[in-house]
């Protein structure tokens, strides 16, 4: 399983929306609803922002939303804020009936202009 | 509130075995529906899933690391451990322990430790 493909960077001004794509294959993103997204600030551990494609854990603002179409998942951040500046990683289940495997994306740096 | 804390040596010699422990507090490692995982991140690079385990058995490992990795559980101390053999400089990374199963989904890593930097050097 190769890493899922994400854009290296995206940027937006405060208040704008940005969307990060995460492209995989039929064996991972396209085959399951276990797609999750993580936010990582410098020097910190990743934080779960979206799970099961489009669900938000308690405490995550509804400015963050997820979706999936075919082999590509997306994370949209609406109403961009300064604190949203961070690295974002997608993750997908990629296993089968015999074993479980998880694969992360290459990561995207979000810059708030 | 659940807390995960990694511990172990920060420096390992090339070809030796890397051994780390994750201590779980604020919850029990034997709680059903949770898997316990290790994930690593080389300095300045992306995340890599290493493997996951269930407290009563059932381990899953990255196919790229499977031949060198063992994850085990110590139920009496609410800890789980990682062993990675025959390490090289490519294994230098921040190692995170994490829990799967938060929010009712085993398809994500909902709780993370702060991470521990392990450097492999001669």
Give the model's pLDDT for residue A10.
Answer: 98
**Cross-chain CB nearest to A57 (options B48, B96, B110):** B110
Strand partners, B59: B53
**Cross-chain CB nearest to A101 (options B63, B105, B110):** B63
A57-92 pLDDT tens trace = 999 999 999 999 999 999 999 999 999 999 999 999
Contacts with A96 (C-beta within 8 Å, 6 or more apart), sequence order = none
Give the model's pLDDT for residue B78.
Answer: 94
Cα–Cα distance for residue pair B13/B36, rounded to 1 Å: 27
A54 touching chain B per CB within 8 A? no
Nearest CA in chain A to B5: A45
Nearest CA in chain A to B95: A45
Mean pLDDT for the stretch of residues A44-62: 96
Give the model's pLDDT for residue A2.
Answer: 83
Question: Does B7 score more than 90 pLDDT?
Answer: yes
B63 touching chain A per CB within 8 A? yes
Task: Say whether B103 and A51 touch across the interface (CB within 8 A).
Answer: yes
B54-113 pLDDT tens trace = 888 888 999 999 999 999 999 999 999 999 999 999 999 999 999 998 877 888 999 999
B109 touching chain A per CB within 8 A? yes
Q: What average pLDDT does the structure give for chain B?
A: 94
Q: What average pLDDT does the structure give for chain A?
A: 95
Residue A8, number of CB atoms within 10 A of its CB: 8
A2-13 pLDDT tens trace = 899 999 999 999
Give the model's pLDDT for residue A1.
Answer: 67
Task: Say whether A55 and B112 touch across the interface (CB within 8 A).
Answer: no
Give the model's pLDDT for residue B42.
Answer: 97
Task: Say whether A34 and B107 touch across the interface (CB within 8 A).
Answer: yes
Task: Say whether A45 and B113 touch across the interface (CB within 8 A).
Answer: yes
Task: Say whether B49 and A106 touch across the interface (CB within 8 A).
Answer: no
B2 touching chain A per CB within 8 A? no
Give the model's pLDDT for residue A53.
Answer: 96
Q: What is the rounded (10 degree) CA torsion for A65, A56, B47, B81?
A: -170
Question: Does B39 score more than 70 pLDDT?
Answer: yes
| Strand ranges (E), B3-121 | 3-7, 11-13, 18-25, 35-41, 48-53, 59-61, 69-74, 79-84, 93-100, 109-112, 116-121
Strand partners, B18: B84
A/B interface, count of CB pairs below 8 Å? 70
């Amino acid at each position: 399983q190769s890493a899922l493909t994400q854009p290296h960077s995206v940027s937006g001004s405060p208040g704008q929306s940005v969307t990060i794509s995460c492209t995989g294959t039929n064996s991972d993103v396209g085959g399951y609803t276990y797609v999750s997204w993580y936010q990582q600030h410098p020097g910190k551990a990743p934080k779960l922002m979206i799970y099961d494609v489009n669900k938000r854990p308690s405490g995550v603002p509804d400015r963050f939303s997820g979706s999936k179409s075919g082999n590509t998942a997306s994370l949209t951040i609406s109403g961009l804020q300064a604190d949203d500046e961070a690295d974002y990683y997608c993750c997908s289940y990629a296993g089968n009936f015999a074993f479980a495997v998880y694969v992360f994306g290459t990561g995207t740096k979000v810059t708030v202009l | 509130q659940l807390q995960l804390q990694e511990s172990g040596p920060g420096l390992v010699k090339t070809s030796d075995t890397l051994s780390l422990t994750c201590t779980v507090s604020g919850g029990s490692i034997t709680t059903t529906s949770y898997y316990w995982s290790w994930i690593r991140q080389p300095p300045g690079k992306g995340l890599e899933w290493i493997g996951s385990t269930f407290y009563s058995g059932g381990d899953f490992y990255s196919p790229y690391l499977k031949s060198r990795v063992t994850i085990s559980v110590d139920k009496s101390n609410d800890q789980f451990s990682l062993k990675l053999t025959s390490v090289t400089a490519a294994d230098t990374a921040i190692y995170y322990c994490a829990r799967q199963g938060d929010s009712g989904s085993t398809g994500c890593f909902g709780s993370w430790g702060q991470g521990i930097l392990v450097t492999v050097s001669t």
